[in-house]
Amino acid sequence: MVEIVPSLDNTEKKKLFLLFIDGIGLAEKSDDNPVSRLFLKETDGFGLQSVQDVQHFSTAQLTPLDATLNTKGEPQSATGQTTIFTGVNAAEYLGYHLPAFPNGELVEIILEKSIMKELNNKGISVTSANMYSEKFFKDRREAIKNRFPVSTLTIEASGSKFRMLNEYNEGKAVFADITNELIRQRGYDIEIITPEDAGKRIRPILDDFQFVFFEYFMTDYYGHKKQRPELDNCVSILNGFVSSIVADLDLKNEAVLVISDHGNAEDLTNGGHTYNPVPGLLISKDSLALKAFSKCTSLTDIYNFILDYYSV
């Protein structure tokens, strides 16, 4: 891995924070749909609910995105995420939706076409804000089949250094669950922090890089378990985290893009994935970027939008 190298003249360049939230779809707004209460502040009280077309707000835009990828069967993580981060319709390529971790065919595609790799090749400085542990890599390297998620492979393909405990201690990393409850359960002596404090850690990372990626998977995890109280907590955490990030942004030149791979947590009737469209939420005051994003209709469109974002 190469060392993390800050962007030159970064203060004059556009910046994008990509928040990937696993397993949230757009469904009817109701008391039974915790996802519908996500990002109420950023969407003028609208939230993430079922829409047929693009919805415009004062500082954001919600776009419903097809996650079925022209392929029969329930949308799944490995193919959905590969599609988002490579621009290749992975389900159509394989002929089926693949859950969990990418197989050898998808790994090759990710390592070749990773969005972070492509941005880096175009001179856009990239990084991930997620904090990793040595154990994470040790356990997966010992597995016979690939056990690395699409996100990790996407980062690795770009040559970016993974952020570890040192970066966290410097205030420049966030653990996967945002508030550190999960990593404390695993035996790490790290204090619990508020979602708002976690959000404040993104600003110094954006000061050094033009593209910052962060993955949050707890929504999919609790959606499968149909654990409503835990999902309500996820919603509260994500709302505080994003509001804190947005408060520190110049929305004319900096933006937050929220994307998911498939539905799940919006419908707790069976604990499985859904066929619902997923939200594409762009928080920005850049009219050209918002106009370009309004043309996205599927997960297959996100890759090119991100590449074009820096030139519109």
Strands (E), 151-277: 211-216, 254-259
Q: Each residue of 26-75: pLDDT tens digit?
A: 999 998 999 999 999 999 999 999 999 999 999 999 999 999 999 999 99
| Domain 12-309 homologous superfamily, CATH | Alkaline Phosphatase, subunit A (3.40.720.10)
- Crossing angle of helices 104-113 and 150-157, rounded to 10°: 40
Q: Each residue of 97-117: pLDDT tens digit?
A: 999 999 999 999 999 999 999
Confidence of residue 10 (pLDDT cuts 50, 70, 90): very low
Which residue would you say has higher pLDDT here, 4 or 225?
A: 225
How far is the C-alpha of 280 from the C-alpha of 302, rounded, in Å?
9
3-state secondary structure of 157: helix
Residue 1, pLDDT above cutoff 60 = no
CA distances from residue 185 to 53, 166, 209, 242 in whole angstroms, order as listed:
42, 20, 31, 24
Confidence of residue 12 (pLDDT cuts 50, 70, 90): low
- Once rounded to an integer, what is the mean pLDDT over residues 144-165? 93
Residue 143, pLDDT above cutoff 90 = no
Write down the domain spans for the chain: 12-309
% of the chain exceeding 70 in pLDDT: 96
- Longest CA pairwise span in the chain (Å): 50
Q: What is the 3-state composition of the chain as percent helix, strand, coil, each rounded to the nearest 5?
A: 40, 15, 45
- The whole-model pTM stands at 0.94
- State both tokens at 242: 């994003």
pLDDT at 188: 86
pLDDT at 4: 42
Q: Each residue of 190-232: pLDDT tens digit?
A: 999 999 999 999 999 999 999 999 999 999 999 999 999 999 9
pLDDT at 186: 85
- Once rounded to an integer, what is the mean pLDDT over residues 121-146? 90
How far is the C-alpha of 183 from the C-alpha of 131, rounded, in Å?
10
